[in-house]
Amino acid sequence: MEFRYFHRIIHLLEDHPKRGKRLVGVKKHVVMRLWDAAEKQEKTKREERANKPDRKRAPGGGHKPTPVLFQLLTALLYIRQHPTMQMLSEWTGCAESTVWNFIHAMIPVIRAELPASLLEGWKRENSDMEQADFERLLADVTGEPLIVDAWEQERLRPKDDEKQKACYSGKKKRHTRKNQVIITQGGTDIVDVVFGEEGSRFDGNIFKENQGRLPDSTQYEGDKAYQGQGRMTTPFKIPPKGELTKEQKEFNRVLGERRIYVEHKIREIRIFRISGETFRMADKIYDTVMGSVCGLVRVRQVECVPC
């Protein structure tokens, strides 16, 4: 393994934080937080292996593992830059299978440490929170309508005929997955996310099915795809062979200025190239990967701790 490559990344995170952040997606303090969580998990695994009743190796025997920090940096590089396994193998001096193991070991750590949304974070802190308390917390944080939008990510064509038809997007002319994000006004935080819906599904139906996850009093703002949904404010459509009034045009302009922040948030998510390019990993890990990306996006903005 080329330890020099990882030492170079650590040097960038410490002495050139902007360049380091561009490389792995987050600043040093976030990497250290994730490293601490990964070390705790690794320690637990070592203790479980050591205490196995049928263990044959003496303590300290067997393969010497790669430092957890280097495994974590490998996973962050993959999430941020989305190289091929061969390219990442050449960079790090590891076998492709070893790189694959690092990525699949560290992504669940990132997912467990960083909540993908405000809703998920509250549920983790207090799993038995009453609905009234949740509504009060949400009102204190937002106080304004939430902004909702969806985006599509290309995926590999499924081999199953029925599945490929369900994933075919008429809009993109490709096989895609559809994700939905709900954010606060100004794009200060992600309130809720939905991952991995079939690309052929209508945005409004996805919203309708998952609307119950938030309080009934919540108001929303969306684009024309959400017209007709409950408690949703959308732009006026131009009537057939007609025109919008001056007031309607002004309303659409103001609403567009408020909605632009959800487009910015989607751009922030797609900065991590694993969520902006064709997804090449297995279907079963898609939600975990996207949840990790959203957690990294939130911590980039929420945890403004200096390096």
The number of folded domains in the chain is: 2
Global pTM reads 0.89
Do 163 and 289 have their domain in common? no
Do 190 and 210 have their domain in common? yes
Q: Is 185 inside a domain boundary?
A: yes
Q: Is 58 inside a domain boundary?
A: no
Higher pLDDT, 302 or 237: 237
67-111 pLDDT tens trace: 999 999 999 999 999 999 999 999 988 899 999 999 999 999 999
Higher pLDDT, 259 or 133: 259
Query: What is the SS3 assignment for 191?
Result: strand
pLDDT of residue 61: 63
User: Phi, psi at residue 152, to the nearest 5°?
Assistant: -110, 145
- CA–CA distance, 254 with 256 (Å, rounded to integer): 5
b/e per residue, 3-23, with b = 16+ CB within 10 A?
Answer: eebbeebeebbeeeeeebbeb
33-46 pLDDT tens trace: 999 999 999 888 88
**Angle CA(267)–CA(294)–CA(173) in degrees, nearest 5?**
55
Q: Is 70 inside a domain boundary?
A: yes
| Structural domain containing residue 73 | 1-49+65-113+282-307
Do 187 and 242 have their domain in common? yes
Do 137 and 101 have their domain in common? no
Do 155 and 75 have their domain in common? no
Calculate the CA dihedral of residues 63, 68, 74, 80 and round it to 10 degrees. 160
Do 105 and 182 have their domain in common? no
Do 177 and 162 have their domain in common? yes
**CA-closest candidate to residue 236, choices 220, 251, 221, 246:** 251
Do 92 and 137 have their domain in common? no
Q: Is 287 inside a domain boundary?
A: yes
Do 180 and 35 have their domain in common? no
Q: Is 277 inside a domain boundary?
A: no
Do 182 and 214 have their domain in common? yes
